[in-house]
């Protein structure tokens, strides 16, 4: 069960990073407009991606997401919701959205990120409970390393 929870947590972490990346791109466009700049065209959007996405990059001592990491058992409902809200083609056409649509997209992505984070927190709580149970079993002698290896 613990291994399954760890796989779910890895999937949720990956999905959360996808949501956050899209949210960063959309929020960057919203900030650009708030500062009085015109909506970005595709070229400007692409040119700003490295800077936009590096804002959340891990600092010293924080673990970076492995570039090859991908979900092993994705939560299809959350992934479908992310794609429904903001797939790649919608990201490429942010300049075509009016301010209200852009603000709605920011709100929707923020809500999805919150939901993914809540599920991830719940998974961590399950992992903690499972780890505590495993520890209890070893302490009481109910489980032993020898029985695990045989």
Choose the weakest-confidence range: 18-22, 42-46, 84-88, 136-140: 42-46
Note the pLDDT tens digit of each residue in 14-63: 999 999 999 999 998 898 889 988 777 778 788 888 888 886 655 444 44
Burial (CB count <10 Å: 0-12, 13-18, 19+), residue 109: buried
Residue 63 domain-assigned (yes or no): no
Residue 87 domain-assigned (yes or no): yes
Residue 42 domain-assigned (yes or no): yes
> 46 lies in which domain range?
2-56+74-149
Banded model confidence at residue 107, pLDDT cuts 50, 70, 90: very high
Residue 66 domain-assigned (yes or no): no
- Residue 90 confidence (pLDDT): 86
Per the CB < 8 A criterion, the answer to whether 52 and 27 are in contact is no
Structure-block tokens of residue 138: 């070893």
Residue 90 domain-assigned (yes or no): yes
Per the CB < 8 A criterion, the answer to whether 133 and 4 are in contact is no
Residue 62 domain-assigned (yes or no): no
Per the CB < 8 A criterion, the answer to whether 39 and 95 are in contact is yes
Q: What is the mean pLDDT of residues 127-147?
A: 90
pTM of the model: 0.74
User: How many structural domains comprise the chain?
Assistant: 1
Does the pLDDT of residue 87 top 90, yes or no? no
Q: Give the integer Cα–Cα distance in Å for 3 and 85.
A: 31
Residue 17 domain-assigned (yes or no): yes
Residue 109 domain-assigned (yes or no): yes
């Amino acid at each position: 069960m613990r291994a399954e929870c760890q796989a779910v947590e890895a999937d949720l972490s990956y999905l959360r990073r996808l949501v956050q990346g899209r949210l960063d791109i959309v929020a960057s466009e919203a900030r650009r407009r708030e500062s009085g700049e015109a909506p970005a065209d595709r070229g400007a959007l692409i040119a700003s991606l490295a800077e936009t996405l590096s804002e959340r990059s891990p600092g010293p001592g924080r673990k970076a997401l492995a570039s090859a990491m991908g979900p092993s058992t994705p939560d299809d409902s959350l992934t479908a919701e992310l794609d429904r809200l903001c797939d790649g083609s919608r990201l490429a056409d942010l300049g075509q959205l009016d301010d209200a649509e852009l603000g709605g997209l920011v709100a929707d992505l923020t809500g999805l990120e919150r939901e993914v984070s809540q599920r991830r927190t719940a998974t961590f709580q399950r992992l903690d409970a499972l780890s505590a149970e495993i520890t209890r079993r070893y302490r009481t002698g109910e489980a032993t390393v020898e029985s695990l290896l045989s």
